Amino acid sequence: MREKFNASRPLYAVHQHGHIGAGLAEAVEGALMRIMLVTDAWDPQVNGVVRTMKRVIEETEAMGHVWEIVHPGQGFRTMPLPTYPEIKLALFARRRIEDRFHEFEPDAIHIATEGTLGMAGRAMCLMVKHPFSTAYHTRFPEYVSARLPVPTRAGYSFVRWFHKYSGKVMVPTPSMVKELEAQRFINLVAWSRGVDTNMFTPERRIEEGQPGDPFAGLPRPIFLNVGRVAVEKNIEAFAELDLPGTKVIIGDGPQREELQKRYKDVVFLGAKFNEELATCYAGADVFVFPSMTDTFGLVVLEAMASGTPVAAYDATGPRDVIPGSDAGTITPAGGNLAEGAVACLSLSRATCRAYA
């Protein structure tokens, strides 16, 4: 068995200063590492966890590091997540993860999620006495409470237990670190996010009326929201805003059909990816982010990188990115988000890009 490195080192340095991969080579002192990732979130899911980890893997593999990814789509017995059947929960997975562990012989193990596969990976690490790192990508207690009659205090008891033996619990923002410290979490470290600024760029903007305009025929200005269409994303708050022009939602999820029936003045374009998505970001006039439960909100950086200013509530993620940037507006919880969105129309797109 290979000598074991600190389980957090390969991932802790990634995303420093918002740039994926910065500092990684120095952190591992030139050592190429074999890293096992255990995650309940993977294709075909579309969310920030999947996009973040794929970007990390892409950058670190280019440096020579080797990954073994364990996810529910690899033949595990699964069941649909209650209230969200698109997400599959892997069952009876510990033995298979242990087999993969012995075959791959990783230098480090990172557990990205607190689902059934993450719990099986955690149990395996404790059994074989292998250190591991974890990440707090999602406000698990709030998400569960929004869908099921489970108090958030019970959710925090569970996630505190889950992360208790992690060598490093990687958290997206300093404000999220403070929140979790108040919940008596330990071994926390801020692990910021980055985006592909070659993919998300103002150069993809197609002006109104030009061929390829993704919003052709829609009254301007375009107020855009991108993300999973689910109850925890607070999308109703965006749909109900009194704004000029057109409100557009890109994404799919369990709440889409319901919202599409309720809000006839909102344009739902479904899920979009890669260049098509990047063109929509760049073509919008303002990006509106109403979520109060995200730990970061990668879409905020994607919009800024595309030159599009962001209007958001004062919540974890936006409050760590927007204030002082001149690239967006922050509205207190319960305040008038529409005013902030309209104010964004006067902000410099060049400033947004430079800040991202």
Q: Helices 116-128 and 152-163 sit at what angle, rounded to 10 degrees?
A: 30
Domain identity same for 218 and 154: no
Q: Are residues 91 and 29 in the same domain?
A: yes
Of the two residues 4 and 155, the one the predictor is more confident about is: 155
Q: How confident is the model at residue 86 (pLDDT cuts 50, 70, 90)?
A: confident
Domain assignment present for residue 138? The answer is: yes
**Contact criterion met (CB below 8 Å) for 168 and 162:** no
Position 283 pLDDT exceeds 70:
yes
The pLDDT tens digits for 323-340 are: 999 999 999 998 999 999
- Kindly tell me if the per-residue pLDDT of 12 is higher than 80: no
Residue 127 inside a domain? The answer is: yes
At 217, which helix (H) or strand (E)?
A: none
Q: What is the tens place of the pLDDT at every residue in 212-257?
A: 999 999 999 999 999 999 988 999 999 999 999 999 999 999 899 9
Specify the range with the lowest mean pLDDT, choosing from 10-19, 120-129, 297-306: 10-19
Instruction: Compute the mean pLDDT over every residue in the chain, rounded to the nearest whole number.
Output: 89
Q: Which of 169, 190, 211 is the last residue of a domain?
A: 190
DSSP 40: S
Report yes or no on 87 lying in a domain. yes
Q: Are residues 23 and 167 in the same domain?
A: yes
Q: Which domain CATH number covers 231?
A: 3.40.50.2000
172 and 278 in a single domain? The answer is no
Closest CA to 235 of 224, 220, 222: 224
If asked whether residues 151 and 23 sit together in one domain, one would say: yes
pLDDT digits (tens, 9 = 90+) for 30-78: 578 999 999 999 998 888 899 899 989 998 999 999 999 999 999 999 9
SS3 299: helix
Number of structural domains found in the chain: 2
Tokens of 250: 């890109």
Residue 143 lies in a domain: yes
53 is a domain residue: yes
Judge if 275 and 177 occupy the same domain.
Answer: no
- Using DSSP's 3-state secondary structure scheme, residue 190 falls into strand
What percentage of residues in the chain have a pLDDT greater than 90? 72
Least confident of 187-191, 284-288, 345-349: 187-191
Look at residues 142, 170, 190 and tell me which one is the last residue of a structural domain.
190
Q: What range does the domain containing 100 cover?
A: 9-190
Residue 4 has a pLDDT of 34
309 and 327 Cβ atoms separated by less than 8 Å: yes
Tell whether 259 is covered by a domain.
Answer: yes
Q: Which amino acid, 139?
A: R
How far, CA to CA in Å, does 116 sit from each of 12, 91, 134, 141, 185? 24, 7, 14, 15, 21
Residue 125, SS3? helix
pLDDT of residue 140: 83
| Whether residue 184 sits in one domain with residue 258 | no
Give me the count of residues in the chain. 356
Same domain? For 248 and 166 the reply is no
Residue 154 and residue 75 share a domain: yes
- Reported in sequence order, the residue ranges of 191-321 that DSSP labels E, i.e. its strands, are 222-226, 246-250, 266-270, 286-289, 310-313
1 falls within a domain = no
Mean per-residue pLDDT, 316-324: 91
* 122 shares a domain with 183: yes
Is the previous residue joined to 141 through a cis bond, with omega within 30 degrees of 0? no
Q: Are 281 and 172 members of one domain? A: no
- Looking at 129, 160, 190, which one is the last position of a domain? 190
Domain co-membership, 232 together with 84: no
As a whole number of angstroms, the distance between CA 191 and CA 56 comes to 12
How high is the pLDDT of residue 158? 96
Averaged pLDDT, 257-268: 97
